[in-house]
Structure 1
Amino acid sequence: MTAAATAPAESVRSANRPQSRWLGFTLRRGGRLLASLWVLITASFLMIHLIPGDPIRAAMGPTASAEIVESRREALGLNDPLLLQYWNYLQGLFTGDLGTSIGSQLPVIDTIAQRLPATASLAVLAFLVAILIAIPLGVAVAVATRRDRGRNLELGFTGSSVLMSSIPDFLLGVAGVWIFGVTLGWLPVAGRSGPESYIMPVLALSIGPAAVLARIVRVEMLGVLESDFVRTARAKRLPAWRIYLNHALPNAVTASLTLRGLLLSALVAGTVLVENVFAWPGLGSTIVQAIQTKDYPLVQGIVLVYGLGVLIINTVVDAILVTLDPRTTVAED
């Protein structure tokens, strides 16, 4: 076969190779997502059903007669074998039915739809605040401490960021309530009443993650500042602000993209404790109440929403990473 005949075949194979890699990557990620979702559904179902206690008695109170409690259990299918209850739960999920709350008698999906905006807005605002704090701080400290300069600043930054990231967010929330709510009276201590009510919960959620991300951004920025393309930009006598903003910062921020995805996932999960500190009317406070009253359907539905949110965030981050660096698909082959 001549070289002219083999050239088109090679070009076709090289054109199809990226498509096949993307297809393989998509199939792997989709399979992992479905498997993780099944594990999440099964674990949440077993977790709540294996907790000792009678949810019907907890919901109806000690004065309800045994006949009423038993009829209610029968109506909700709680007397069925556990495997049958699991099968019925899966069937409901496929049809979009998360069940009915034992306590409120309302559809679980309606309760979630009512409470989800409060939790989502809190997590997203905390994420944005953490990014707005961490990236400028990490970049500024990196510029000030590169090439072993500013040793005292580096030690102070590292120590303070480690300290702030080690304090649990609910303790920061309690401290904020005591200082700014009770002692100074500057901010509301509970509820979701207006823009000012977001300040303390958002700060309690964002300070720790911002400290972690700022350290990562500083380390990435230090590496980028010593790279060849930055040295080339300096050799061209470009202004310092242009070198930092147009050349160094995009590369340092891209390198920490995975951490930011994990950060958002952690903030979503962290809303559970913070919402209970500030009596925030979201999913976090609702799931704690549902666990206390053994409201099986409501707990399962909220756990599913939290877990699904984390899985989707991680999948989106993976897709963005592959878009920015297609070599990621090669590494998994």
Structure 2
Amino acid sequence: MRLLVSLWVLVTAAFFMVHLVPGDPIRAALGPLAPADLVSAQRHALGLDDPLLVQYGHFLRGLLTGQLGDSIGSQLPVSQIIGQRLPATAELALLAFAVAVVVAIPLGVGVAVLTRHGRARRTELAFVSSTVILGAVPDFVLGVVFVFVFAVNLHWLPVAGRDGASSFVLPVLALAVGPAAILSRIVRVEMLSVLDTDYLRTARAKRLSGPRINLVHALPNAVTATLTVSGLLLGSLVAGTVLVENVFAWPGLGSTIVQSIINKDYPLVQAIVLVYGVGVLLINTVVDVVLAVLAPRSTIGVD
């Protein structure tokens, strides 16, 4: 029920926020020199001269029947445009998420083990300082810095576009660095908490090896909060692709929605906003389900 209510709020917000953008989408599509009668006829054909609530009803009926309409600018079906652009955005977000997790979990576990009980103060200070800074820098700013350093100055990687494996490196890193920094701090804090529990003291008393204690018994019990944050970070990565795609001229939904907003292409903007919103809602729902499944295991001790 909560998911359905969230979807309705998302659909309603997507519709009304787009219509708050000033300007005439028909005039933007046809150009400033288009005859007034042509503009009026096109507006009538698309139902844009109907009252806003009537347009909202048409919008809801279209969603229920799977009809997202046609782009005002290109006249192509919105579903076709999304189908062409969605894979590029999904690849970018999922690769960035995978990189963030692969980097953050070993880093957080390693620093937790090294700095436990106040040891290695310099390592702890360097870790905390660097992750705070990297976690606070916007991903699009990192993207601009990466382009300037690795593409413009060093010529190691492409400046923009999606052509080959090398073109993924900079946008993926721009998206992954901040979440990796945040997630590694969460992993460290959770790991430090778990390492001081009674059942791990029992494991040490049984002379189990350090890797077995840390990886087999401690890490699985530290993943609950990590998993929750990971789900939130994946949702933020999906949303973060909007700005990063524009930095790297990435042919995904992010660059498409910016251009659609400029052109006041109502059907396309609404559909892309819904895709992003539904993606975030589904990610959060999946995280809730996984947490419910893993919760009984969080109290498992040492055999």
| TM-score exceeds 0.5 | yes
Cα shift readout 1:30-76 (whole Å, capped 9, x = no counterpart): x1111111111111111111221100000111121111111111110
SS of match in other structure, 1:185: coil
Cα shift readout 1:59-112 (whole Å, capped 9, x = no counterpart): 111121111111111110001111110000000000011111000101111100
- Correspondence 1:163 to 2:133: yes
Match of 1:61 among 31, 42, 67: 31
Q: How many residues align?
A: 298
The residue identity in structure 1 corresponding to 2:184 is A
Match of 2:183 among 189, 213, 232: 213
- The corresponding residue for 2:85 is 115
- The corresponding residue for 1:13 is none
Larger Rg belongs to: 1
Match of 1:199 among 164, 169, 182: 169
- Correspondence 1:79 to 2:49: yes
Report the alpha carbon displacement of residue 326 of structure 1 after superposing the two structures with TM. 5.7
Report the alpha carbon displacement of residue 228 of structure 1 after superposing the two structures with TM. 1.4
SS of match in other structure, 1:51: coil
- Correspondence 1:306 to 2:276: yes
- The corresponding residue for 1:172 is 142
The residue identity in structure 2 corresponding to 1:174 is V
- Correspondence 1:265 to 2:235: yes
Q: 2-side partners of 1:261 and 1:235: how far apart?
A: 36
- The corresponding residue for 2:300 is none
- Correspondence 1:127 to 2:97: yes
Q: 2-side partners of 1:294 and 1:313: how far apart?
A: 29
Cα pair 2:134 2:181 within 8 Å, conserved = yes
Q: 1-side partners of 2:163 and 2:7: how far apart?
A: 35
- After the TM superposition, list the runs of 4 or more consecutive aligned residues in structure 1 that deviate by more than 6 angstroms: none
The residue identity in structure 2 corresponding to 1:124 is L
- Correspondence 1:318 to 2:253: no
* Structure 2: stretches of 5+ with no match in the other structure: 298-303
Q: CA RMSD in A?
A: 1.2
1:326–1:79 distance in 2 versus 1, CA, 3 Å: farther
Q: 1-side partners of 2:45 and 2:212: how far apart?
A: 68
The residue identity in structure 1 corresponding to 2:22 is P
Q: 2-side partners of 1:145 and 1:139: how far apart?
A: 10
Q: 1-side partners of 2:237 and 2:215: how far apart?
A: 27
Q: 2-side partners of 1:207 and 1:58: how far apart?
A: 38
Report the alpha carbon displacement of residue 255 of structure 1 after superposing the two structures with TM. 3.1
- Correspondence 1:247 to 2:236: no
* Structure 1: stretches of 5+ with no match in the other structure: 1-30, 328-333
SS of match in other structure, 1:247: helix
Q: 2-side partners of 1:276 and 1:170: how far apart?
A: 9
Match of 1:181 among 148, 151, 158: 151
Report the alpha carbon displacement of residue 183 of structure 1 after superposing the two structures with TM. 0.3
Per the normalisation by structure 2, the TM-score is 0.96
Q: 2-side partners of 1:151 and 1:326: how far apart?
A: 35
Q: 2-side partners of 1:184 and 1:325: how far apart?
A: 48
- Correspondence 1:148 to 2:118: yes
Cα pair 2:186 2:225 within 8 Å, conserved = no
Match of 1:238 among 196, 199, 208: 208
- Correspondence 1:281 to 2:259: no
Match of 1:290 among 260, 264, 287: 260
Cα shift readout 1:130-181 (whole Å, capped 9, x = no counterpart): 0011000000100000011111111111011101111110000000000000
SS of match in other structure, 1:208: helix
Report the alpha carbon displacement of residue 254 of structure 1 after superposing the two structures with TM. 3.0
